[in-house]
Amino acid sequence: MIAFSFTGEGFSFVRGIISPIFADKLSNRMNFSSKAYFLLAAIVLLAFSLRVYNLDKHGIFYDEKASVLISQGMAMEGNSQKNCFNTPNKNTFTPKEFWADKSLEDYYDSIRRSDIGNSPFYYVLLHNWINIFGISDFSARFLSVLFSCAIIILLFFFIKEHFGNVILALLASFLMAIEPFFIAYSQQVRNYSMSFFLALLATYIFLKIIKNQELGVKSNKLFLFYGILSGLCLLSHFLTATVFMAHGLYVLIFVRNWQTWLRLALAVSIGGVMFGYWILFGGGNYTFKTLDYQAKIYYKEAHSVPNPHAGYIDPATVPNVAKKSLPILTDLFIVSNGLAGTVAGKKSFALALMLALVGIFLLRKYHNERKNIWLLGWIGLMVLASMFAFKTMIWQYLEVMNCGILLFLLFKYWNSKDKSISNQQLWFFVIITFLPTFFLILMTFKNGHTFGLTQRYSGFSFPYSIILVSIALLQAQKSLELGKFIVWAIFGVHLMLVSQTIKEVLNDSSLKYNYRDKPRAENPYPKIAENLKKMYQTGDTIIYPSYTKEVYQSDVYTKNIKRSVLDAQYVNLYLPKDAEYVQTINPKEKDKVFIKKQNGSLIEVFDLMGDTYRY
């Protein structure tokens, strides 16, 4: 079993990553040699191990099921499978009919109805991936694992290409490997890991173009590649548009070459044409209508009295938006991950913030004293104050104060002359770190409700926040003679707390990342299919339940459905494609799958027990 706490072997690995930092400080004496690539391989191996651990232990949930169905050209509730579920006077169907060849319009319809027309590029890849490697939970999720590991490798070469600092590249790669957000979304059959990878690749190419233009190097192929990437990003997730907004804002502020402006605009227009075709003529032709419909439903729910979804869908008031935005912003930085949810009490938080400000003042005033005696004295005061004032969650408050130190160190790096990253590039990282979240906040106020204000929709920012954190940590090594040990020690303790979050994610019990605190069991539908294959005999009829329940009706296509075919769809995904099993649906049965024998007797195959196995 893999150990997921940073003790014992875990700390040995961390020391393996950190020790070069203490040896080389912020310099680049360790060049991009075989040693650096060996450490990168070790980091990727760690990331891979975390991402495949328990990969299929917990069954795919509703959105993942939608992804699998869409990839096969099947709309949820069967609209694109009229030969099975919507033929008048026809009440039975077979797996062979279920798996009948699908037309291009069937695929468009499935994306339109089951994912508002979003992510067609991901579904193309997933369709072919499943055709090659199978439809098991492990196989379907493994595609996201590969993209999540690829992001780490890409980040390493991103920093190598643009900043040439191997220590920064290794530290940032390590932090991305253990970032709970990336681990959680690598274990989902969803577009997120691929979208994050494509967005980072687009930014890599964008900065390469800017660099080449400054050096007078021709970049025609890069412009073309950037344009195609912009289209693929938008066809992976609509909100990758915020990444290109950040690119555009950077160009508007810092680039003064009008030819660069023009050529970038022409490049992005390639993506615009790709996206426009999808919206006008493909499966995205109802996207904006669906979004408008959903916005009205969520607004109505948020402002209803009583509100059945309070805390999840609330009116977009300043207090509500601030309450929901704070954990998004703190969790964006691994050094403050989880603090918004654990630091409680306004007075205690104010005291921690005040001590942090005092620390920044002392650092600013005495940072040139190499022994940093003032810092050590202040740290001691912090610890004593924490023990007496906070009583509980002492480490969390120390982390708040440590974040203050790191923020100061980032500013110190910003103002230094001996650095590998220019101020313009630092500004770019700040813009692209915060703009996606600020865009979500703006849209939240515009729509009047807080649904959609969630971390995964601004996850494109994580690589850049990780770079900023890595810069600050390395600056501690350079600027603080003695205080660096304290900064790193507090951060080390924080990593142990992060490891507990990782453990929750892998055990499927993190409300923040898994959307639940009670772990799911394994996917029941392959087991049902396996039992049916063993038990079915010619002349039998398989009877599926029809499970419908009252929820807020955000899906315009299935809001008034009287008979659900989802359970039948999920089971048939795992039945032989050429089987002739006779199957039907009983609208009056809610939970149990039966085999009806020729003599009329019923054999219970599985009881889904309401929401117990329907994730």
User: 555 and 482 share a domain?
Assistant: no
- Tell me, yes or no, whether 204 and 313 share the same domain: no
Asked if the model's pLDDT at residue 8 lies above 60, the reply is: no
β-strands 592-596, 583-586 pairing: unpaired
Contact 229, 267 (CB under 8 A): no
- E strand residue ranges, 23-130: none
Instruction: List the 602-607 sheet strands across, edge first.
Output: 583-586, 541-545, 592-596, 602-607
Produce one character per residue of 591-600: b if its CB has 16 or more CB atoms within 10 Å, e if not.
bbbbbbeeee
Record the tokens describing residue 62, joined without a space: 């509703």
Whether 581 and 520 have beta carbons less than 8 Å apart is answered as no
> How many residues does the structure list for the chain?
615
Q: Could you tell me where the DSSP H helices lie in 216-310?
A: 220-234, 241-254, 258-281, 287-302
For residue 559, pLDDT beyond 80: no
Higher pLDDT, 106 or 12: 106
Please say whether the beta carbons of 402 and 353 come within 8 A: no
Q: At what angle do helices 120-133 and 137-163 cross, to 10 degrees?
A: 120
Residue 123 lies in a domain: yes
173 found inside a domain:
no
Is 14 domain-assigned?
A: no
Residues 377 and 495 in one domain: yes
Residue 549 has pLDDT above 90, yes or no: no
- Does one domain contain both 397 and 528? no
Quote the pLDDT of residue 384.
Answer: 60
* 324 has a pLDDT exceeding 80: yes
If asked whether residues 216 and 76 sit together in one domain, one would say no
**What is the C-alpha separation between 366 and 360, in angstroms, rounded?**
10
The answer to pTM > 0.95 is no
* 561 in the same domain as 494: no
The answer to whether position 29 is within a domain reads: no
592-596 and 541-545: which strand pairing?
A: antiparallel
Tokens encoding 469: 């954190």
Mean pLDDT value of segment 348-376: 62
Average pLDDT over residues 483-511: 90
Q: What's the domain range around 237?
A: 198-285
Tell me, what's the pLDDT at 82? 86
Query: Rounded CA gap, 201 and 161, in Å?
Result: 12
Burial class (CB in 10 A: 0-12, 13-18, 19+), 353: middle
Burial per residue of 204-231, b for 16 or more beta-carbon CB atoms within 10 angstroms, e otherwise:
bbbbbbbeebeeeeebeebbebbbbbbb
Tell me which of 224-238, 265-279, 385-399, 581-595 is least confident: 385-399
- How far, in Å, CA of 53 to CA of 260, rounded? 46
Contact 322, 336 (CB under 8 A): no
- Of residues 290, 296, 292, the one with CA closest to residue 558: 290
Give dist(CA 515, CA 505) in Å, integer.
10
Same domain, 565 and 597: yes
Tens digit of pLDDT for each residue in 396-442? Answer: 667 777 888 888 889 889 988 888 889 999 999 999 999 999 999 99
Boundary of a domain, candidates 489, 514, 539 = 514
Residue 57 contacts by C-beta under 8 Å, 6 or more apart in sequence?
508, 522
The rounded distance, in Å, linking the Cα atoms of 491 and 262 is: 45
Share of the chain above pLDDT 90, in %: 67
Domain end call among 228, 260, 285: 285
Burial degree of 516 (CB within 10 A; 0-12, 13-18, 19+): middle
CA dist., res. 228 & res. 68, Å (int): 26
DSSP string, 530-571: HHHHHH--TT-EEEEE----------TTTTT-SS--HHHHHH
CA–CA dist 404, 320 (Å, integer)? 26
Q: At what angle do helices 483-506 and 394-415 cross, to 10 degrees?
A: 120
230 and 340 housed in the same domain: no
Q: How far apart are CA 19 and CA 557, in angstroms?
A: 57
User: 441 and 484, same structural domain?
Assistant: yes
Cβ(576)–Cβ(565) below 8 Å? no
Same domain, 242 and 350: no
pLDDT tens per residue, range 175-192: 999 999 999 999 999 999
pLDDT digits 0-9 by tens, 159-176: 999 998 999 999 999 999
| pLDDT number for residue 6 | 38
pLDDT of residue 489: 85
Closest CA to 378 of 365, 390, 391: 365
The token pair at 79 is 């609209």
Q: What type of residue is 588?
A: K
Half-sphere exposure of 244 (CA within 13 A, CB side): 23
Does 471 lie in the same domain as 331? yes
Per-chain mean pLDDT for the chain: 87
Residue for token digits 């690749």? Answer: 201
290 part of a folded domain: no
- Domain membership of residue 54 (yes or no) is no
Angstrom distance (rounded) from CA 273 to CA 589 = 48
Q: Same structural domain for residues 266 and 316?
A: no
- Among 244, 260, 285, which residue terminates a domain? 285
Cα of 367 vs its chain's centroid, Å: 38
Top mean-pLDDT range of 18-22, 248-252, 286-290: 248-252
Q: Is the pLDDT of residue 12 over 50?
A: no
pLDDT of residue 352: 64
What is the band of 392 on the pLDDT scale with cuts at 50, 70, 90? low
Task: Indicate whether 406 belongs to any domain.
Answer: yes
Range in 27-31, 228-232, 288-292, 372-376 with the lowest mean pLDDT: 27-31
Total tally of structural domains belonging to the chain: 3
- 319 preceded by a cis bond (ω within 30 of 0): no
Residue 338 lies in a domain: yes
More confident site: 10 or 607: 607
